[in-house]
């Protein structure tokens, strides 16, 4: 989704781990790749040591040259989602903090949740959504994982920013099934003003087809946590189902809605989301078909993308890739996918601005090979020949 904002110059705001555990493979689809050892320590494109930016401060300025790649922030700790409102970046970290970057200053504040964060491999503080009126309301949204006795859950909450921390203020949705893997976790405010939430199957594939379960779904709610009257199923937050581990959501200029999803042993997906649709997991994958189930617009086949955050920018959708390392472009007209950035390691999320894209790397979570000063927020220009 591309929203108009002001960011130094005029900008517009838009916007894991898939495991093979259920198939007996201990390696995750977000796991390490041989490409890691070929990366340089400076992801900005300069030679090592050529970047004179302070380690303690981060730049929020647009690059002076429109075609210049630039490191905006360094030393992020397992970053998960990028949001941007009123000249300020907000970046969630799985470790339980939100980083703000404004006027060349990086500030990290912990979030005081009412439950202890789960320490499972894909859990923690995941998605955040910052409304356009945040400066007036001081209310934002977060999705986090927690453990209660021997059970794992996710919840969607409101949070408020205080002087030295963020504070959980209300629970909008609780007891979303969780587990060791497949947490989902992306939350976005759609063009209709509703909150959209991705949930994974929590390594219980059968839940994705169960309309009484919140797992393996894309959910939709009003910003106060109530159910919209026009949701496709009565008395339900479920907007679409049959998902394994969706992690990216984005809307095009005509409100066309797409989501990325981690497949099983590759077969990662980009799906065109429509209300009430069943996207097939665990019954079908790839080009397989079944009655009343939708196949993906594109899938990775035997390759692995491990797709995460997604955004729309000038005719194309762009999505982050974890084990597939890099940033990929999805052309909805031709239904093709192209790798356009491949030298920064794992990428967790991507955000669209007027001059190009901003991405966050994800090399510090134990599954990547961190370069010096990882993880980073990096500006990536998009050449005109990449646009429609």
Model pLDDT, residue 383: 74
Mean predicted lDDT score pLDDT of the chain:
87
Domain that holds residue 167: 2-386
Model pLDDT, residue 291: 98
Model pLDDT, residue 1: 40
Model pLDDT, residue 88: 97
Model pLDDT, residue 103: 81
Model pLDDT, residue 54: 35
Q: Can you give the pTM of this predicted structure?
A: 0.85
Domain count, the chain: 1
In tens digits, what is the pLDDT along the chain, a chain of 388 residues? 433 333 333 333 333 444 434 333 333 555 554 444 444 333 333 332 333 333 333 333 444 434 689 999 999 999 999 999 999 999 999 999 999 999 878 999 999 999 999 999 999 999 999 999 999 999 999 999 999 998 999 999 999 999 999 999 999 999 999 999 999 999 999 999 999 999 999 999 999 999 999 999 999 999 999 999 999 999 999 999 999 999 999 999 999 999 999 999 999 999 999 999 999 999 999 999 999 999 999 999 999 999 999 999 999 999 999 999 999 999 999 999 999 999 999 999 999 998 899 999 999 999 999 999 999 999 999 877 666 6
The 3-state secondary structure of the chain reads CEEEEEECEEEEEECCCCECHHHCCCCECCCCCHHHHHCCCCCCCCCCCCCCCCCCCCCCCCCCCCCCCEEEECCCCCEEEEEEECCEEEEEECCCEEEEEECCEEEEEEEECCCCECCCCCCCEEEEECCCCHHHHCEEEEEEEEEECCEEEEEEEEEEECCCCEEEEEEEEEEEECCCCCCCCCEEECCCCCEEEECCCCCCHHHHHCCCCCCCEEEEECCCCCCCCCCCCCCCCEEEECCCCEEEEEECCCCCEEEEECCCCCCCEEEECCCCCECCCCCCCCCCCCCCCCCCCEECCCCCCCEEEEEEECCEEEEEECCCCEEEEEECCCCEEEEEECCCCCEEEEEECCCEEEEEECCCCCCCCCCCCCCCEEEEECCHHHCC
* CATH number, domain with residue 234: 2.120.10.30
């Amino acid at each position: 989704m591309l929203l108009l904002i002001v960011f130094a110059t005029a900008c517009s705001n838009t916007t894991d781990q898939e495991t093979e555990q259920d198939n007996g493979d201990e390696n995750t689809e977000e796991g390490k790749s041989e490409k890691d050892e070929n990366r340089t320590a400076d992801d900005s494109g300069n030679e090592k040591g050529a970047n004179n930016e302070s380690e303690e401060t981060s730049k929020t300025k647009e690059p002076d040259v429109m075609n210049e790649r630039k490191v905006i922030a360094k030393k992020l700790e397992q970053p998960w989602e990028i949001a941007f409102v009123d000249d300020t970046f907000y970046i969630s970290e799985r470790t339980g903090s939100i980083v703000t970057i404004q006027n060349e200053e990086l500030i990290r504040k912990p979030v005081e949740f009412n439950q202890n964060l789960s320490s499972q491999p894909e859990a923690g503080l995941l998605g955040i959504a910052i409304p356009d009126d945040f400066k007036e309301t001081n209310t934002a949204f977060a999705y986090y994982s927690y453990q209660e006795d021997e059970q794992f859950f996710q919840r969607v909450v409101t949070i408020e920013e205080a002087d030295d921390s963020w504070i959980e203020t209300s629970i909008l949705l609780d007891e979303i099934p969780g587990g060791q893997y497949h947490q989902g976790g992306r939350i976005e405010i759609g063009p209709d003003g509703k909150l959209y939430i991705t949930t994974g199957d929590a390594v219980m594939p059968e839940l994705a087809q169960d309309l009484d379960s919140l797992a393996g779904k894309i959910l939709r709610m009003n910003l106060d946590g109530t159910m919209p009257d026009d949701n496709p199923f009565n008395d339900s937050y479920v907007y679409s189902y049959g998902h394994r581990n969706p992690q990216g959501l984005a809307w095009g200029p005509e409100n066309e809605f797409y989501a990325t999803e981690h497949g099983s042993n590759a077969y990662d997906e980009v799906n065109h989301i429509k209300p009430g649709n069943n996207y097939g997991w665990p019954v079908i994958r790839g080009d397989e078909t079944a009655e009343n189930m939708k196949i993906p617009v594109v899938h990775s086949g035997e390759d692995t993308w491990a797709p995460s955050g997604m955004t729309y920018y000038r005719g194309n959708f762009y999505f982050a890739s974890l084990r597939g390392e890099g940033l990929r472009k999805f052309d909805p007209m031709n239904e093709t996918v192209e790798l356009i950035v491949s030298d920064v390691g794992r990428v967790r999320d991507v955000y669209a601005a007027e001059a190009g894209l901003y991405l966050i790397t994800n090399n510090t979570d134990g599954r990547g090979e961190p370069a010096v000063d990882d993880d980073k927020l990096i500006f990536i220009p998009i050449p005109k020949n990449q646009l429609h």
